Protein backbone atom coordinates (compact mmCIF):
# COMPACT_ATOMS: atom_id res chain seq x y z
CA UNK A 1 0.00 0.00 0.00
CA UNK A 2 1.21 3.49 -0.82
CA UNK A 3 1.66 6.21 1.76
CA UNK A 4 -0.10 9.53 1.27
CA UNK A 5 1.06 12.75 2.87
CA UNK A 6 -1.08 15.89 3.05
CA UNK A 7 0.68 19.18 2.50
CA UNK A 8 0.24 21.80 5.24
CA UNK A 9 -1.64 23.98 2.72
CA UNK A 10 -4.05 21.15 1.89
CA UNK A 11 -4.73 20.49 5.58
CA UNK A 12 -5.33 24.18 6.20
CA UNK A 13 -7.72 24.39 3.23
CA UNK A 14 -9.58 21.32 4.43
CA UNK A 15 -9.87 22.80 7.92
CA UNK A 16 -11.18 26.08 6.48
CA UNK A 17 -13.73 24.27 4.31
CA UNK A 18 -15.08 22.12 7.13
CA UNK A 19 -15.13 25.08 9.54
CA UNK A 20 -17.16 27.07 7.02
CA UNK A 21 -19.64 24.24 6.50
CA UNK A 22 -19.98 23.54 10.21
CA UNK A 23 -20.04 27.14 11.49
CA UNK A 24 -21.20 29.52 8.76
CA UNK A 25 -23.69 27.10 7.20
CA UNK A 26 -24.64 25.60 10.57
CA UNK A 27 -24.22 22.08 9.20
CA UNK A 28 -21.69 20.21 11.38
CA UNK A 29 -22.99 16.82 10.24
CA UNK A 30 -22.41 17.78 6.60
CA UNK A 31 -18.85 18.80 7.47
CA UNK A 32 -18.22 15.44 9.13
CA UNK A 33 -19.83 13.60 6.22
CA UNK A 34 -17.49 15.42 3.85
CA UNK A 35 -14.47 14.37 5.90
CA UNK A 36 -15.71 10.77 5.99
CA UNK A 37 -16.24 10.70 2.21
CA UNK A 38 -12.84 12.25 1.60
CA UNK A 39 -11.17 9.77 3.94
CA UNK A 40 -12.84 6.89 2.12
CA UNK A 41 -11.72 8.22 -1.27
CA UNK A 42 -8.16 8.75 -0.05
CA UNK A 43 -8.09 5.20 1.32
CA UNK A 44 -9.07 3.90 -2.12
CA UNK A 45 -6.35 6.03 -3.72
CA UNK A 46 -3.75 4.61 -1.35
CA UNK A 47 -4.78 1.06 -2.24
CA UNK A 48 -5.28 1.63 -5.97
CA UNK A 49 -3.10 4.60 -7.02
CA UNK A 50 -3.57 3.95 -10.76
CA UNK A 51 -7.33 3.45 -10.58
CA UNK A 52 -8.19 6.49 -12.71
CA UNK A 53 -5.13 6.39 -14.91
CA UNK A 54 -6.10 6.98 -18.50
CA UNK A 55 -9.22 8.99 -17.68
CA UNK A 56 -9.10 12.37 -19.47
CA UNK A 57 -8.40 15.16 -16.99
CA UNK A 58 -11.43 17.18 -18.13
CA UNK A 59 -13.86 14.30 -17.63
CA UNK A 60 -16.62 15.30 -15.26
CA UNK A 61 -15.75 18.98 -15.28
CA UNK A 62 -18.00 21.76 -16.42
CA UNK A 63 -16.90 24.16 -19.07
User: For position 61, what pLDDT does the model report?
Assistant: 57
Of 1, 4, 32, whose CA–CA distance to 17 is shortest? 32
Q: Are 34 and 21 contacting, i.e. CB atoms less than 8 angstroms apart? A: yes
Residue 58, SS3 per DSSP: coil
Q: Are 45 and 51 contacting, i.e. CB atoms less than 8 angstroms apart? A: yes
Q: Are 2 and 42 contacting, i.e. CB atoms less than 8 angstroms apart? A: no
pLDDT in tens, 16-63: 999 999 999 999 999 999 999 999 988 888 888 887 666 666 655 555
Number of other CB atoms surrounding residue 49 within 10 Å: 12
6 pLDDT more than 70: yes
User: For position 22, what pLDDT does the model report?
Assistant: 98
The pTM of the whole model exceeds 0.75: no
5 pLDDT more than 80: yes
Amino acid sequence: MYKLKYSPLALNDLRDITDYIADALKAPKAAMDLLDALDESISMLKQFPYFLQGVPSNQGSRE
